Amino acid sequence: MVTSPISHRRTRAHIEWMLPAICYILAVFGVVCIAIATFNPDKGTELSLLNYIINSNSASWQSIFVLASVVVLFVVANIPLELFKSRAKLIYWAVLMLLLFTLLASTAISGVNAWLRVGWGRTIQPCEFAKLSILIMLARTLSLKEKPMASVKDFAVICVQFGVPAVVTLAQGETGTVIVMGFMFIVMILFSGADVRLWWGMMAAVALAVAAFFGYAIFSGSTDYRITRILSFLDPQKYYNSAGYQILNSQMSIGSGQMNGIGMFRVGSISQLDYVPEDHTDFIFSAIGEAFGFVGCCVLLGLYLILIIRLLYLARFTEDRFGQLLIVGVMAMLFLHIFENIAMNIGLMPITGIPLPFVSYGGSNFMTNIVGIALVMNVVKSRSSMTQIVFQGQQRGKRKKRRRLLSIGAKQS
């Protein structure tokens, strides 16, 4: 097969600059939006943008995360990609142990045991890192065979690799993160070359599970906060004094921005008066809608669209299956975060506690997303070497097969 010059240019190794450029545009915008959401007029109303950020504890910490992430991005992007593949099990088990330790040793916050204190009044959220460990482990396992999940044993191994950290994360109370893990799992299987009938069977099982969960939420009468979130999504007015309060006020905040927004750091705004709880984390989109309006929301969505399309493009022209599945997994992780966060902010999906990538406040999620982008950059930079490794492996396989056939022929003669 002859490779065309255009195809060669698309598959060649290069330094991927577009992805980090988009991510850091979003990150800087996120710092500004966090400062808007946490604006305190008592500290001044005629300040420079830098002083508004400094006066916000959350925006200041997010700025530190953004600056530190540059080092993380550079380091992860330059580690030999084959090392991630060969050490996938070590990464997976290390993060799984950290998940279990967090479940047993952490103090519950709002009924969730997902944060581990690390000093300086800061916490980390290991279930965020678990998404990356699952991604790397599944990419390795699914890339080992031409037809993955062809046997019951293969299917069971892959399900266990996904299921164990997912169950521990669910036990911590992080339902939203488990949903992201499940979406990554299904999308990676679809792109791995597994039997399509198996994929459709899994989708049918997911649909039945979702329907059963909604049915239980509606008819059980449970007071669990996760069930209440589902019910408030179906009828937010009925739960205005509890879970519906956040949805309705988020919609009001976004609507108040109208076409061009009311502007930044406005005294008496919905975000400044804290009508939307957690508007600097999971509900940052409500503050964006109020401050920048419909136009600002469209620009943000446009950047996210370019990011997702670029990831799909890079995956399409990556020949190494391990690298391709890494890119697909990162794309799936970011896509569901974007879709679910914005949808729950405008009342189209239940509240799941999923942050908006690169914009919401939170060091663990931000670093997880940056490492994901760094892995993609690593794959693109390593394309030639990884293709050569795959080619050498194929050649070794052919030589072994040839020697085996020759020995069988010699015995027969």
Q: Out of 6-10, 109-113, 306-310, pick the least confident.
A: 6-10
pLDDT at 399 over 70: no
Report pLDDT for 390: 47
Report pLDDT for 1: 37
CB atoms within 10 A of CB 51: 13
Report pLDDT for 3: 46
Tell me what the pLDDT averaged over the chain comes to.
Answer: 85
Q: Say if residue 47 is exposed, middle or buried (CB neighbours under 10 Å; 0-12, 13-18, 19+).
A: middle
Q: Which two structure tokens, joined as six digits, stand for 271?
A: 């975000």
The arithmetic mean of pLDDT across residues 143-158, rounded, is 82
Q: Out of 142-151, 199-208, 372-381, pick the least confident.
A: 199-208
pLDDT at 28 over 80: yes
Does residue 366 sit in helix, strand or coil?
helix
CA distance 22 to 338: 14
Report pLDDT for 153: 83
Q: Out of 74-88, 168-182, 233-247, 285-299, pick the least confident.
A: 233-247
Report pLDDT for 115: 86
User: What is the tens place of the pLDDT at every residue in 188-219?
Assistant: 988 888 776 776 777 787 778 777 766 765 66
User: What is the tens place of the pLDDT at every residue in 84-101?
Assistant: 999 999 999 999 999 999
- Spatial contact of 361 and 62, defined as CB atoms under 8 Å apart: yes
pLDDT at 290 over 90: yes
- Percent of the chain whose predicted confidence (pLDDT) is above 70: 85
CA distance 199 to 213: 21
Report pLDDT for 201: 75
Report pLDDT for 75: 96
Report pLDDT for 295: 96
The arithmetic mean of pLDDT across residues 375-392, rounded, is 72
Report pLDDT for 113: 80
Report pLDDT for 383: 79
| pTM of the full structure | 0.86
In the chain, the amino acid numbered 143 is S
Report pLDDT for 8: 59
CA distance 213 to 227: 9
Does residue 122 sit in helix, strand or coil?
strand
pLDDT at 82 over 60: yes
CB atoms within 10 A of CB 248: 17
**With bands split at pLDDT 50, 70 and 90, how would you rate the model's confidence at 374?**
very high
- Select the more confidently predicted residue: 390 or 363: 363
Per-domain residue ranges of the chain: 15-399
Report pLDDT for 2: 38
Report pLDDT for 391: 44
The arithmetic mean of pLDDT across residues 228-253, rounded, is 78
Q: Out of 19-33, 83-97, 230-244, pick the least confident.
A: 230-244
